[in-house]
């Protein structure tokens, strides 16, 4: 695994600088703030906090420009994204009942042994729906093979080359949060992942949506939206640089952590991956195959299959 | 219920002194009103004798002035009332003493709801919970309030507009706009600033600019008055556009208000179609007549004329609508009647009811549903 600095949300109090120092980051930083969308360029506070020279990769702005420079490629990309969004809408028609079946079973007061076996089957069904989504996502992407490496188009190549050049001399790549879908899209459209593969030693620091992007499976979550309850759902594959972890930034605000049933289901649904909630101040490191929070206490926790929320310290 | 009847039995079986002691002990050990399931028992006791006590409430369908029953010969009075679960009732007691009568809040109940006229006692029924998003949440980035004045040619006087800007506001950007009627009351009694800051921080609502306006002769101005509609569309809106970064898209421009404020919001969208594409209408006083006269007094005459005209041509309103009303309001009938009419005209209307009355807490409690419907944020996708 490449060297990673994994942090909780950076607002209101950033804690990125210390871990960068500890990690021995001695070169200039490369910033990706595409998740901030229209605010991508407003990185002055971040630059000031890290106290190092930094180069921004304005992926969001570049994509806007690509709509003019290579409109056919950008339009194809957008069409593919629309198909992926349609997939999620349709997929939800199977996911929601599968999760509701599990939820009904939890409340069932029949013979415990029978209910427990049915619960296991219901969980397997949910996991299968999740797997199906990832497989179908891959299938749709394969159907658009012309978009596998959009930056190879002559009109976009210079952007990818700029990415390669920036990463080549970088001491760290910093990936901020924001809109996780936009972030992932822009990273892949300009081949940042491919460019970074040439630098396996490059330190990557990420938080919030940036951290979610590093994982192998991005899970969206918000238990109490304005219209009724909602279930976490798989968004799609991440970059895979941080396998085995489901990142849940701002989990205290976004999840019903006081409901052991929901907590336990989330943990078991994505097992063997570990579901980790991160709040402002968290700094995760892997010690003896266990995630440990070396940041502010009680800002990172693991969801347990039993429904418990266990602090990482 | 059991507790009050048990107390009544004890009082009946006791002498006056023991009865007084039993009542004093009882009121010191309970939360009032007593609530169990759908039954609420309203209890009045202030340690003084009274000739009669009435429950004054605003629940449409119940007699608005209900007599309480004296508990034996004690100074305590009670009244069981069946109310819907999840409901919330504001009330006072009317106490008759020495030939006079006074309206008082429940001395046994510390829960209060405030409005421009003072405050009422509150009886929350089982299932009602104060929404989590009405209290300041930790770590929320506050917006800023600013204000300016308009020398209004329409009104011939000077009018203040308070403007709330989201924390992330930048002058060079374009934001959606919401203009609020009874703005000062929404800020003071419906916690609207806190609600906005919480919901935007959670990405449930998109960052937007909110202008709070308030009337001078409020009821006359808000009763489907063309001057008020022109003031908002022709004076307030341009003044805001010249001062703040606002979207030019009518679909990103909204009006909201409660009661008469709902009327003037809808009337403004009706009089100036295509200018405001989002309407948040709470307990709108949408009184109409099919034949004959209404019984609401002359202040409603222009409203009835407007709503009757609207019913004849609802498609003239070019906006998405969030409409809410309390089931304890007499206005529920008019709001329910308007809904199919607007929908049949092809308007996108989301409608919500709550077991509550015509009050600021009821309107506060619907803000999340309304604001997230009209100005949705990317809550599912943004993790910052």
Q: Give A84-100 pLDDT, tens digit per residue.
A: 999 999 999 999 999 99
Is B309 inside a domain boundary? yes
* Cα–Cα separations (whole angstroms), residue A65 to A59, A69, B187, B232: 10, 6, 42, 39
A100 close to A261: Cβ distance less than 8 angstroms:
no
**Across the beta sheet with B34-36, what order do the strands follow?**
B34-36, B39-44, B77-82, B69-70
**Dist. CA A99–CA A91, nearest whole Å:** 12
Do B220 and B346 belong to one domain?
yes
Q: What percent of chain A has pLDDT over 70?
A: 99
Beta carbons within 10 angstroms of residue B120's beta carbon: 24
Rg (CA), chain A: 20
Residue A206 has pLDDT above 90, yes or no: yes
Count of domains for chain B: 2
Lowest-pLDDT range of A191-200, B5-14, B364-373: B5-14
Instruction: For the sheet with A283-287, list strands across it.
Output: A54-56, A29-32, A172-175, A203-207, A4-7, A283-287, A290-293
Taking contacts as CB-CB distances below 8 angstroms, the residues of chain A near B383 are 9, 177-178, 180, 208-209, 212, 249-250
Residues of B in contact with A226 (CB under 8 A): 204, 368-369, 372-373
Q: State whether A253 and B137 contact (CB < 8 Å).
A: yes
- Confidence label for A254 from pLDDT (cuts 50, 70 and 90): very high
pLDDT of amino acid B230:
98
DSSP-assigned letter for residue B250: G
B373 contact residues in A (CB cutoff 8 A): 226
Residue B304's nearest CA partner among B265, B334, B272 is B334
B21 and B104 housed in the same domain: yes
| CB-CB contact of B77 with B43 (8 Å) | yes
On whether residue B319 sits in a domain, the answer given is yes
Residue B225 domain-assigned (yes or no): yes
Residues B10 and B148 in one domain: no
B69, part of any domain? yes
Give B169's contacts in chain A (Cβ within 8 Å): none
Distance of CA A296 to the CA centre of its chain: 22
Q: How confident is the model at residue A289 (pLDDT cuts 50, 70, 90)?
A: confident
Question: In b/e form, how buried is each residue of B174-186, taking b as 16+ CB within 10 angstroms?
Answer: ebbbbbbbbbebb
Shared-domain flag, residues B108 and B147: no
Whole-number Å distance between alpha carbons of A286 and A270: 19
A253: chain B residues, CB-CB within 8 Å: 137, 202
The answer to whether residues B179 and B261 belong to one domain is yes
CATH number, domain containing residue B94: 2.60.40.10
Q: How many CB atoms within 10 Å of residue B308?
A: 14
Residue numbers of B between 137 and 156 with CB closer than 8 Å to A: 137, 139, 141
Is the CB of residue A164 less than 8 Å from the CB of residue A30?
A: no
Same-domain check for residues B87 and B161: no
**Residue B227 DSSP code:** H
Asked if residue B102 and residue B72 are part of one domain, the reply reads yes
Of A14, A55, A10, A57, the closest CA to residue A32 belongs to A57
**Closest residue in B to A231 (Cα–Cα):** B380
Structural domain contains residue B275: yes
| Res. B64: pLDDT tops 90 | no
Q: Is the pLDDT of residue B136 over 80?
A: yes
Nearest by CB to A179, from B368, B373, B381: name it.
B381
Give the CATH number for residue B195: 3.40.50.1820
Phi then psi dihedrals of residue B51, to 5 deg: -85, -35
Buried (b) or exposed (e) across B291-302, using 16+ Cβ within 10 A? eeeeeeeeebeb
Give the pLDDT confidence of B249-280 residue by residue, as tens digits: 999 999 999 999 999 999 999 999 999 999 99
To the nearest whole angstrom, how far is the Cα of B383 from the nearest Cα of chain A?
5
Domain span including residue B21: 2-124
User: In this complex, which of A38, A177, A226 lies closest to B384 when CB atoms are compared?
Assistant: A177
- Considering the domain architecture, whether residues B191 and B273 belong to the same structural domain is answered as yes
Cα–Cα dist B145/A309, whole Å: 39
Q: Scanning every residue of chain A, which has its alpha carbon at the shortest distance from the alpha carbon of B169?
A: A39
Residue recorded with tokens 């970074």: A196
Scanning B333-372 for CB atoms below 8 A from A yields 368-369, 372
What is d(CA A252, CA A257) in angstroms, rounded to the nearest whole number? 7
- Closest of A178, A277, A271, A184 to residue A236, by C-alpha: A184
The chain A residues in contact with chain B (CB within 8 A) are 9, 11-12, 35-36, 38-39, 42, 176-182, 208-209, 212, 220, 222, 225-227, 230, 249-250, 253, 280
Interface test with B, best of A226, A232, A236 (most B CBs within 10 A): A226
The half-sphere exposure of A58 on its side-chain side, counting CA atoms within 13 A, is: 11
Q: Give the model's pLDDT for residue A313.
A: 84
B132: three-class secondary structure by DSSP: helix
Residue B171 near chain A (CB below 8 Å): no
Query: How far is the C-alpha of A254 from the C-alpha of B339, rounded, in Å?
Result: 33
| Helices vs strands, H then E, count in chain B | 12, 19
How much is the ipTM here? Answer: 0.96
The residues, ordered by sequence, that sit 6+ positions from A281 with a Cβ below 8 Å of its Cβ are: A8, A13, A15, A295, A296, A299
- Please give, rounded to a whole number of angstroms, the shortest distance from the CA of B380 to a CA of chain A: 6
Q: Cβ of A208 and B384 within 8 Å? A: yes
% of chain B with per-residue pLDDT over 90: 93
The pLDDT score that the predictor gives to residue B60 is: 92
The verdict on a CB contact (< 8 Å) between B381 and A220 is yes
Angle between helices A59-69 and A180-189 (to 10 degrees): 60
What mean pLDDT do residues A232-250 have?
96
User: Residue B40: pLDDT band by 50, 70, 90 thresholds?
Assistant: very high
pLDDT tens digit sequence for A8-64: 999 889 999 999 999 988 889 999 999 999 899 999 999 999 999 999 999 999 999
A13: number of Cβ within 10 Å: 12
Q: Which residues of B touch A182 (CB under 8 A)?
A: 381
Residue B13, SS3? Answer: helix
Q: What is the mean pLDDT of chain B?
A: 96
pLDDT in tens, A48-89: 999 999 999 999 999 999 989 999 999 999 999 999 999 999
**β pairing state of A203-207 and A4-7:** parallel
Question: CA B55, CA B91: separation in Å to the nearest integer?
Answer: 7
Which of B59, B89, B124 represents a domain boundary (last residue)?
B124
pLDDT value for B290: 87
Contacting residues of B for A220, CB less than 8 Å apart: 380-381
Number of H helices, E strands in chain A: 11, 14
Q: Is residue B383 part of a domain?
A: no
**Which are the contacts of B208, defined by CB distance < 8 A and separation ≥ 6?**
B166, B175, B176, B177, B178, B200, B252, B375
- Cβ within 8 Å of residue B337, ≥6 positions away: B286, B288
For residue B381, give the nearest of A11, A180, A230 by CB distance: A180
Tell whether the model's pLDDT for residue B100 goes beyond 90. yes
Is the pLDDT confidence value at B139 over 90? no
- A-B C-beta contacts closer than 8 Å: 54
* Environment class of A260 (CB within 10 Å of its CB; exposed 0-12, middle 13-18, buried 19+): middle
Q: Greater confidence, B157 or A227?
A: B157
**Which chain A residues are Cβ-neighbours of B384 within 8 angstroms?**
9, 11, 35-36, 176-178, 208-209
Determine whether the interchain pair A209/B372 forms a contact, defined as Cβ–Cβ distance below 8 Å: no
Q: Among all residues of chain B, which has the CA nearest to that of A280? A: B139
Q: How far is CA A192 from CA A48, A149, A155, A188, B80, in A?
A: 24, 11, 17, 6, 69
Question: Tell me: the pLDDT tens digits for B176-214?
Answer: 999 999 999 999 999 999 999 999 999 999 999 999 999
Do B237 and B254 lie in one domain? The reply is yes
Higher pLDDT, A267 or A289: A267
Structure tokens of B235?
């004076």
| Second CATH level (architecture) for the domain A4-36+44-67+157-311 | 3-Layer(aba) Sandwich (3.40)
Cα-to-chain-centroid distance, residue A208 = 8
Does the pLDDT of residue B379 top 80, yes or no?
yes
Question: Are B94 and B136 within one domain?
Answer: no
Residues of B in contact with A178 (CB under 8 A): 382-384
Report the residue count for chain B. 384
Write out chain B residues lying below 8 Å of A249, CB-based: 383
Residue of chain A minimizing CA distance to B170? A39
Query: Exposed (0-12), middle (13-18) or buried (19+): which is B109, by Cβ within 10 Å?
Result: middle
Contact B382 A280 (CB under 8 A): no
What integer is the mean pLDDT of B311-321? 94
Helix (H) / strand (E) element for B253: namely strand B253-258
């Amino acid at each position: 695994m490449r060297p990673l600095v994994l942090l909780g949300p950076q607002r209101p109090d950033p804690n990125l600088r210390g871990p960068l120092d500890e990690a021995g980051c001695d070169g200039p930083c490369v910033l990706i703030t595409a998740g901030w969308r229209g605010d991508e360029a407003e990185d002055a506070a971040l630059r000031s906090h890290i106290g190092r020279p930094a180069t921004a990769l304005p992926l969001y702005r570049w994509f806007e420009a690509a709509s003019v420079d290579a409109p056919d490629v950008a339009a194809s990309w957008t069409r593919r994204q629309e198909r992926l969004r349609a997939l999620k809408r349709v997929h939800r028609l199977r996911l929601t009942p599968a999760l509701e079946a599990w939820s009904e079973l939890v409340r069932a007061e029949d013979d415990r042994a029978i209910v427990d076996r049915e619960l296991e089957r219901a969980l397997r069904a949910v996991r299968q729906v999740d797997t199906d989504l990832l497989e179908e996502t891959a299938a749709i992407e394969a159907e658009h093979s012309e978009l596998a490496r959009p930056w190879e188009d002559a009109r976009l190549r210079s952007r990818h080359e700029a990415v390669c050049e920036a990463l080549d001399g970088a001491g760290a790549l910093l990936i901020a949060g924001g809109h996780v879908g936009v972030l992932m899209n822009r990273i892949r459209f300009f081949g940042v992942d491919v460019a970074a593969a040439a630098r396996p030693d490059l330190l990557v620091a990420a938080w919030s949506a940036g951290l979610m992007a590093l994982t192998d499976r991005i899970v969206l979550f918000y238990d109490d939206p304005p219209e009724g309850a909602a279930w976490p759902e798989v968004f799609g594959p991440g970059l895979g640089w941080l396998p085995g972890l489901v990142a849940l930034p701002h989990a205290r605000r976004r999840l019903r952590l006081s409901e052991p049933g929901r907590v336990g289901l989330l943990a078991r649904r994505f097992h063997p991956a570990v579901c980790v909630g991160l709040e402002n101040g968290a700094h995760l490191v892997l010690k003896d195959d266990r995630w440990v929070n070396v940041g502010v206490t009680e800002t990172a926790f693991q969801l347990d299959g039993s429904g418990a929320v266990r602090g990482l310290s | 219920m059991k507790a009050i009847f048990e107390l009544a039995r004890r009082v009946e079986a006791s002498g006056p002194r023991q009865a007084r002691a039993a009542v004093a002990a009882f009121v010191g050990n309970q939360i009032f009103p007593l609530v169990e399931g759908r039954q609420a028992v309203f209890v009045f006791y202030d340690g003084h004798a009274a000739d009669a006590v009435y429950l004054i409430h605003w629940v449409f369908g119940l007699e608005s002035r209900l007599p309480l029953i004296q508990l034996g010969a004690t100074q305590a009075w009670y009244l069981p009332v069946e109310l819907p679960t999840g409901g919330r009732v504001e009330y006072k007691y009317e106490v008759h003493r020495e030939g006079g009568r006074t309206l008082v809040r429940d001395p046994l109940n510390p829960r209060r709801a405030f409005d421009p006229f003072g405050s009422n006692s509150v009886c929350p029924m089982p299932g009602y919970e104060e929404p989590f998003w009405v209290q300041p949440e930790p770590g929320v980035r506050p917006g800023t309030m600013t204000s300016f004045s308009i020398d209004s040619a329409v009104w011939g006087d000077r009018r203040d507009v308070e403007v709330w800007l989201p924390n992330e506001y930048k002058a060079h950007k374009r934001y959606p706009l919401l203009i609020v009627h009874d703005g000062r009351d929404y800020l003071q009694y419906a916690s609207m600033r806190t609600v906005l800051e919480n919901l935007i921080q959670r990405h449930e609502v998109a960052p937007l600019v909110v202008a709070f306006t308030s009337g001078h002769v409020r009821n006359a101005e808000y009763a489907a008055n063309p001057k008020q509609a022109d003031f908002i569309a022709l004076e307030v809106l341009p003044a805001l556009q010249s001062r703040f970064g606002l979207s030019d898209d009518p679909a990103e421009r909204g009006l909201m208000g409660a009661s008469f404020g709902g009327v003037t919001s809808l009337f403004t969208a009706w009089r100036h179609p295509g200018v405001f594409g989002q309407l948040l209408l709470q307990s709108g006083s949408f009184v109409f007549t099919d034949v004959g006269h209404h019984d609401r007094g002359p202040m409603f005459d222009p409203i009835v004329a407007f709503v009757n005209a609207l019913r004849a041509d609802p498609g003239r309103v070019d906006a998405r609508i969030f409409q809410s009303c309390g089931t304890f309001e007499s206005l529920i009938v008019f709001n329910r009647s308007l809904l199919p009419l607007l929908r049949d005209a092809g308007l996108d209307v989301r409608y919500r009811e709550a077991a509550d009355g015509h009050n600021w807490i009821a309107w506060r409690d619907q803000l999340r549903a309304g604001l997230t419907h009209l100005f949705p944020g990317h809550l599912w996708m943004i993790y910052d």
